[in-house]
């Protein structure tokens, strides 16, 4: 009888939740196109979170609905999707998108409508400076300025005196070029060549030949997804034997799959979640990172997690408590007012432990991550079983 009563109670709670108007959160991710290896784990993570949240009673007793749109790794489609989510779906907030150029393109839309947005892309300019437009924008991935530090420190420790750079010919690649050159200059490392390539290029032979003519001790490739395999493969095919570095934009299983033996020995900075099981026991977000990976792999398969899904997880870790606080202050029926209150509560985020670090926002910092907690240095290695994997080289705490 007790079991029957419990079952009826659970059913009643479920019906009650279903009868409540959902809290709509708009999501734009790159689930197809060149950035798909980043956007798919972001989408999967939010699908998983929606199921978990609603199974446990929603937020403040209301169900959550993630309205997810694929922008196909295209800025125009990302902007169009954002307008739809803001105007037609009347989303309370926006999460997305995956890539830097598209995330930058979305800023005008959310600022004009007064809708808070949490970006899943890396570029510092997405949130800095916090002006009249960017006051509506927050983000979870580490910036190129933060992630240049581990690279340059590792280069210096390895005796690198000269380095070359080749990166995307868009905002992501340009942001990395500026950040890396500044960090390298401060460390006394000379950048002797700086080249660009498109995400969809099939050859970078000319750029690599120019880099090789300068004989650098190390090369940094500033790209994301699987596209950065191309310049690395070309470097190796042309006989380059120096150190090769990538950015945190390649920290996903598809990069290992596409790169194969060519990427063995690659060094890169990454969020701690990438090597969650190798972190020191007292690392501040090891427990959260481990829990996320276990949840993700139980649904999508062993070895399927990546740092990019972690960025989506962290976006919700920030947004959920902000929603709860905002719901105590304002009704969602007054949409414009609620969005303003929610923006203020996101900016008030303090001590939120995510998969990538601890978030402490402020009126001048809409990322809120500290470099020493949010970055580790890793190397791609081949295990005795012949599998490619990530190996923790050092932390910076």
Res. 7: pLDDT tops 70: no
Distance CA 247, CA 221 (A): 7
Q: What is the pLDDT of residue 397?
A: 84
Q: What is the pLDDT of residue 16?
A: 53
* In contact, 375 and 147? CB cutoff 8 Å: yes
CATH 3.20.20.80 fits 23-142+289-366, yes or no: no
Beta-carbon contacts of residue 334 (< 8 Å; ≥ 6 apart) = none
Res. 23: pLDDT tops 60: yes
* In contact, 120 and 140? CB cutoff 8 Å: yes
Q: What is the 3-state secondary structure (H, E, C) of the chain?
A: CHHHHHHHHHHHHHHHHHHCCCEEEEEEECCCCCCHHHHHHHHHHHHHHHHHHHHCCCECCECEEEEEEECCCCHHHHHHHHHHHHHCCCCCEEEECCCHHHHHHHHHHHHHHCCCEEECCCCHHHCCCCCCCHHHEEECCCCHHHHHHHHHHHHHHCCCCEEEEEEECCHHHHHHHHHHHHHHHHHCCEEEEEEEECCCCCCCHHHHHHHHCCCCCEEEEECCCCCCHHHHHHHHHCCCCCEEEECHHHCCHHHHHHHHHHHCCCEEEECHHHHHHHCCCCCCCHHHHHHHHHHHHHHHCCCCCCHHHHHHHHHHHHHHHHHHHHHHHCCCCCHHHHHHHHHHHHHCCCCEECCCCEECCECCECCCCCHHHHCEEEEEEECCCCCEEEEEEEECC
Mean pLDDT confidence for 126-141: 98
Q: What is the pLDDT of residue 182?
A: 98
Kindly state the tokens that stand for 115: 């809708």
Angle, CA 64 vertex, CA 92 and CA 79 arms, to 5°: 40
Res. 28: pLDDT tops 50: yes
Kindly state the tokens that stand for 308: 């990019």
Res. 86: pLDDT tops 50: yes
Angle, CA 392 vertex, CA 391 and CA 395 arms, to 5°: 170
Q: What is the pLDDT of residue 301?
A: 95
pTM of structure: 0.92
Q: What is the pLDDT of residue 183?
A: 97
Mean pLDDT confidence for 349-362: 98
Kindly state the tokens that stand for 154: 């590792």
Q: What is the pLDDT of residue 9?
A: 41
Where b means 16+ CB within 10 Å and e means fewer, 127-162 reads bbebeeebbbbbbbbbbbbbbbbbbbbbbeeeebeb
Mean pLDDT confidence for 42-58: 97
Q: State the pLDDT confidence band at 60, using cuts at 50, 70 and 90.
A: very high
Three-state SS at 93:
strand
Q: How far is CA 336 from the centre of its chain?
A: 28
Give the pairing of strands 218-222 and 162-168.
Answer: parallel
Three-state SS at 266:
coil
- Minimum mean pLDDT among 11-20, 308-317, 359-368: which range? 11-20
Q: Which CATH superfamily is domain 144-270+375-395 in?
A: Response regulator (3.40.50.2300)
pLDDT, tens digit (0-9, with 9 covering 90-100), for 261-280: 999 999 999 999 999 999 99
In the chain, ranges of CATH 3.40.50.2300 domains: 23-142+289-366, 144-270+375-395
Q: State the pLDDT confidence band at 15, using cuts at 50, 70 and 90.
A: low
Mean pLDDT confidence for 18-42: 93
Average pLDDT of the chain, as a whole number: 95
Q: State the pLDDT confidence band at 369, using cuts at 50, 70 and 90.
A: very high
């Amino acid at each position: 009888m007790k079991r029957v009563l419990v079952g009826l109670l659970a059913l009643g709670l479920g019906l009650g939740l279903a009868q409540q108007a959902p809290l709509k959160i708009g999501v734009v991710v790159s689930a197809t196109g060149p950035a798909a290896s980043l956007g798919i784990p972001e989408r999967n993570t939010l699908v998983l979170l929606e199921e978990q949240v609603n199974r446990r009673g929603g937020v403040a007793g209301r169900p959550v609905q993630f309205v997810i749109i694929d922008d196909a790794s295209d800025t125009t489609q990302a902007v169009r999707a954002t307008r739809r989510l803001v105007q037609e779906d009347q989303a309370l907030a926006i999460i997305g998108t995956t890539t830097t150029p598209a995330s930058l393109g979305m800023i005008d839309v959310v600022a004009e409508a007064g809708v808070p947005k949490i970006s899943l892309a890396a570029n510092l300019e997405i949130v800095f400076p916090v002006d009249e437009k960017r006051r509506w924008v927050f983000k979870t991935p580490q910036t190129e300025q933060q992630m240049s530090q581990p690279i340059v420190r590792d280069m210096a420790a390895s005796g690198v005196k000269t380095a070359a750079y080749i990166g995307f010919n868009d905002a992501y690649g340009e942001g990395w070029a500026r950040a890396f050159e500044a960090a390298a200059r401060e460390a006394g490392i000379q950048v002797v060549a700086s080249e660009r390539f498109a995400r969809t290029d099939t050859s970078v032979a000319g750029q690599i030949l120019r880099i090789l003519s300068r004989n650098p001790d190390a090369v940094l490739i500033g790209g994301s997804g699987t596209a950065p395999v191309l310049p690395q493969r070309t470097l190796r095919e042309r006989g380059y034997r120096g150190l090769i570095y990538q950015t945190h934009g390649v920290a996903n299983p598809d990069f290992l799959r596409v790169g194969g033996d060519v990427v063995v020995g690659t060094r890169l900075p990454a969020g701690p979640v990438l090597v969650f099981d190798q972190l020191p026991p007292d690392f501040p977000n090891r427990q959260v990172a481990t829990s996320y990976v276990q949840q993700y792999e139980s649904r999508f398969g062993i070895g399927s997690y990546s740092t990019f899904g972690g960025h989506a997880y962290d976006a919700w870790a920030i947004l959920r408590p902000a929603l709860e606080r905002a719901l105590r202050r304002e009704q969602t029926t007054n949409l414009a007012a609620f969005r303003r209150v929610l923006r203020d509560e996101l900016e008030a985020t303090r001590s939120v432990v995510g998969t990538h670090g601890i978030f402490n926002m402020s009126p001048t910092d809409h990322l809120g991550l500290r470099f020493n907690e949010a970055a580790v240095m890793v190397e791609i290695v081949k295990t005795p079983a012949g599998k490619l994997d990530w190996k923790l080289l050092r932390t910076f705490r």
